[in-house]
Amino acid sequence: MQDYLILPSLLSADFARLGEEAEAVIDAGADMLHLDVMDNHYVPNLTVGPLVCEALRSYGIKAPIDVHLMTKPVDRLIIDFAKAGATNITFHPEASDHVDRSLALIRQHGCKAGLALNPATSLHCLEYVMDKLDLILIMSVNPGFGGQTFIPSALDKISRVRELVTSHDLTVRIAVDGGVKTENIGQIAQAGADMFIAGSAIFNQPDYAEVISTMRKQLLCAR
Ligand code: DX5
Ligand code: ZN
């Protein structure tokens, strides 16, 4: 089952107990932590910077940290998050004037590189950078807030990205972010995603392990 990754989004965690919450979801069976970085400029919300990523590492979090930059610009933060212990760094193509350079910067600093596509962003931006990507993140809500409803057109987009990845014979992960729940995770997997980011669906329930194991059961049925 490790070819399907479940990533709780810390955006819906209790920020006053972030270290404990991160530990709890990993103990509950999550594969990675998803950290949403918002700058009140690229998106209308403000969250955390590299200090918080570093604090999670100092607290003892060893699990991979998947950093989702919803900031503009991105290059300085790429370097700072790499130093702060990020595993993956993903940004939105609209937020960098030089997408190719920003992607290269992520790998130069020892992290895996991702591009995040908003609901209205076309797949054209992937065309000349496929070999520089470790993951493609399909946004199934408009970025900025947790707890929004999954936009159904994301399913067709995921399928098209899966075809693209297969036709290039690459091992690029396809992540989906926004409105992922136990009820739709199977359908999202069938469309072609293999990395599932879920915030409110996990953190708004009292038993994280139960939600994650239900998600794994749904993924097993979707095969
Ligand atoms: C939205 C963030 C998501 C968000 C998902 O901008 O990128 O990671 O936390 O939250 P849910 O799963 O509640 O839609
Ligand atoms: Zn995110």
Q: What is d(CA 113, CA 66) in angstroms, rounded to the nearest whole number?
A: 10
Q: 198 C-alpha vs ligand 1 centroid, how far in Å?
A: 6
Divide the 223 residues of the chain into consecutive groups of 10 and give the mean pLDDT of each group: 88 98 98 98 98 98 99 98 99 98 98 98 98 98 98 98 96 98 98 98 98 98 90
- CA 90 to ligand 2 centroid distance, Å: 9
Q: Residue 2's pLDDT is what?
A: 52
33-38 and 5-8 beta bridge pairing? unpaired
For the chain, which residues make up each domain, given as ranges? Answer: 5-222
146 lines ligand 1 (CB under 6 A): yes
C-alpha angle 50-15-105 in degrees, rounded to nearest 5: 20
Q: How far apart are CA 156 and CA 190, in angstroms?
A: 11
- Atom number in ligand 1 closest to CA 181: 12
| Matching CATH number, 5-222, of 3.40.50.300, 3.40.50.360, 3.30.470.20, 3.20.20.70 | 3.20.20.70
Query: Is 199 labelled as part of a ligand binding site?
Result: yes
Please state, in angstroms and rounded to a whole number, the distance separating the CA atoms of residues 189 and 165: 15
27 marked as binding residue: no
Q: Is 60 annotated as a binding residue?
A: no
pLDDT at residue 218, as a whole number: 98
Please give the distance, rounded to the nearest whole angstrom, from the Cα atom of residue 48 to the centre of ligand 1.
14
The answer to whether the CB of 66 is under 6 A from ligand 1 is no
| Best of 25, 67, 138, 148 for a ligand 1 pocket test (most atoms within 8 Å of beta carbon) | 148
What is the structure's pLDDT at 5?
98
| Omega prior to 143 cis, within 30 of 0 | no
